[in-house]
Structure 1
């Protein structure tokens, strides 16, 4: 199964998980970057405001077409109880090209359920696997990552 991981990471926490999954599944990966920067405390506030308002932003050109993959895994941090604005923008543009979906998110402690549901709703796909990692779980994510990958591999 040809797999692509698409992720956005403001603080490299989501990136850490995306790269661990990529290594285990030996698949392609695409980092989404935004024209608008969400750095620092001001970026954190702007990001939460944009996400909560369902805004889209300009994302930099992607290099991998999701239509060419059997499975696309979406990874995002939770911003204001939803996905990060750059991932929402990606899904608004490319979500209809995703054949099969899996998704994961990283968060402080809450908002993950709404985030994972919104990813599914935005793409119109029922995910074959989902995973969330809270700040505390990020210290030892291996078990949750293994369970997530097993769901993907055993579908």
Structure 2
């Protein structure tokens, strides 16, 4: 199976998780960029607003996902769902080929039945990053 690990990260947490998954799967990482300043308190508030209203953002990718059989998509949790850049990515790539990995400080994604191949929650307060990554990689290796 040919995997690609695609990620969007505001603080670096999702980038770190994506790198760990890609290393275990021996595949490349591809960053989603949106050229919006999400830094600081204003960025945090704006991000929650954009996510809750499903506002569209223009994105670019640091590589190509064209030849991937399946995607492992890593996103931070914003207002109960994926970051806006990830939502824009999903409009271009079918979710039935996506294993969604959601990183957060203490919550999980609201809608678990969104047509993804799988959803993995990595919650900092649960201290489950390494075990969640290991379980995901094991499930992909079957």
- TM-score by length of structure 1 reads 0.83
Q: Give CA-to-partner distance per residue, 1:57-77, whole Å, 9 cap, x none.
A: 11134421x331111111100
Q: 1 CA distance for matches of 2:110 and 2:62?
A: 27
Q: 1 CA distance for matches of 2:98 and 2:23?
A: 19
SS, match of residue 90 in structure 1: helix
Q: Which residue of the partner structure matches residue 153 of structure 1?
A: 141
1:136 aligns with 2:125: yes
Aligned residue pairs, count: 142
Q: Which residue of the partner structure matches residue 106 of structure 1?
A: 103
Which aligned segments of 4 or more residues in structure 1 are displaced greater than 6 angstroms? Answer: none
Cα deviation, residue 99, structure 1? 6.6
Bigger fraction of residues in strand: 2
- Superposed, which structure 2 residues align to 1:13-52 within 5 Å? 13-52=13-52
Q: Which residue of the partner structure matches residue 123 of structure 1?
A: none
In structure 2, the gaps of 5 or more residues are: none
- Superposed, which structure 2 residues align to 1:119-134 within 5 Å? 120=115, 126-127=116-117, 129-134=118-123
In structure 1, the gaps of 5 or more residues are: 121-125
Cα deviation, residue 85, structure 1? 0.5
SS, match of residue 69 in structure 1: coil
